[in-house]
Amino acid sequence: MGWRMWLPLMFFALFLGLAAYQLTQPKDEFVESRMIGQSLPYFDLPAATDGLPGVSSKDFADGKPRLLNIWASWCLPCIAEAPQLEALKEQGADIVGVAIRDDPADVAEFLARHGNPYSRIGRDDLSEVQLGIGSSGVPETFVIDGKGTITYQHIGDIRADDVPVLLEKLREAGQ
């Protein structure tokens, strides 16, 4: 009888250990998303700004691997990641943007000021794609293979160290 009274404390100790371990872990490690290996959900977004077409999930079925970058002009980390996206584009990556709850004028201004690495940008006013793809914030970047399957997720802004990783993931997705 007596030993059972210790069970709550034992479970609690287990939780404490786990939580303490998690708190000491750096948060920006490469993470596996539950969306990895799944197909993109169906969507068809209108263009977010003049001069660039909108984005549809069908665009990803042409055999070419791409980066899908979820961002917004009102998002500060997105400014920080802009040079890295430029670098990725220069090294041959095709980057498709999805602008979350954004305004065409703001999108155009952002692109004029921070560069435009995108081949297409869709506007996701209802966070439809964002929710469907399992992203919880901006910016986030997904690697999509030529059949529309998500192969890699990068949470948060892309730092300089992340560029080679993303290029490698793109190359893997193309094989």
Partner 1 sequence: MIAELGHAALWLAAALALLQLVGGALALRGGEADGITGLARPAAVLQGGLAGFAFFALLYVFAVTDLSVKLVAANSHSLKPLIFKLSGAWGNHEGSMLLWVTVMALAGGLIAAVERRLPENTMQATLAAQGFVALGFYAFLLLSSNPFERLPEPAMEGLGLNPLLQDIGLALHPPTLYFGYVGLSVAFSFAVGAMLTRSVTPDFARAMRPWVLGAWVFLTLGITAGSYWAYYELGWGGWWFWDPVENASLMPWLAATALLHSVSVLASRDALRVWTIMLGVVAFSMSMLGTFLVRSGVLTSVHAFAVDPERGSFILALLAIYIGGALLLFALRASSISEGERFAVASREGALVFNNVMLSAILAVVLLGTLYPLLTEAFDVRVSVGPPYFNPVSAIFTIPMLLAMAVGPLLRWRGDSWARISKELALIAALVIAGLIFFALFEGGALLPLLGLAIAVMLAVASFLPLRGRNLKRLPIAVWGMVIAHFGIAVALFGMASESAFSTERLAALEVGQSATVGPWEVELASVQPVAGPNWTAIEGRMLASYRDGEAQPIAPQSRNFWAPAQQTTESVLLTRWNGQLYAVMGNEANDGRWQLRLWWKPFVTFIWYGGMLVALGGVLAIIGRVQQDLKRRSIRRMGAVRRADMGTV
- Residue among 7 and 90 whose Cβ is closer to partner 1: 7
3-class SS at 164? helix
Strand intervals (E) in the chain: 44-45, 55-56, 66-71, 95-100, 118-124, 140-144, 150-155
- Residue among 131 and 160 whose Cβ is closer to partner 1: 131
Q: Which of positions 144-173 make contact with partner 1 (CB under 8 A)?
A: none
Beta bridge partners of 47: 122
Minimum distance between the CB of residue 126 and partner 1, rounded to whole angstroms? 6
DSSP 47-88: BSSTTS--EEGGGGGSS--EEEEEE-TT-HHHHHHHHHHHHH
Query: Running DSSP on this structure, what letter comes out for residue 163?
Result: H
Q: Which of positions 94-153 make contact with partner 1 (CB under 8 A)?
A: 101-103, 123, 125-127, 131, 134, 136
Minimum distance between the CB of residue 36 and partner 1, rounded to whole angstroms? 9
Residues lying near partner 1 in the complex (CB under 8 A): 1-2, 5-6, 8-9, 12-13, 15-16, 18-23, 25, 27, 29, 31-34, 46-47, 54, 74, 101-103, 123, 125-127, 131, 134, 136
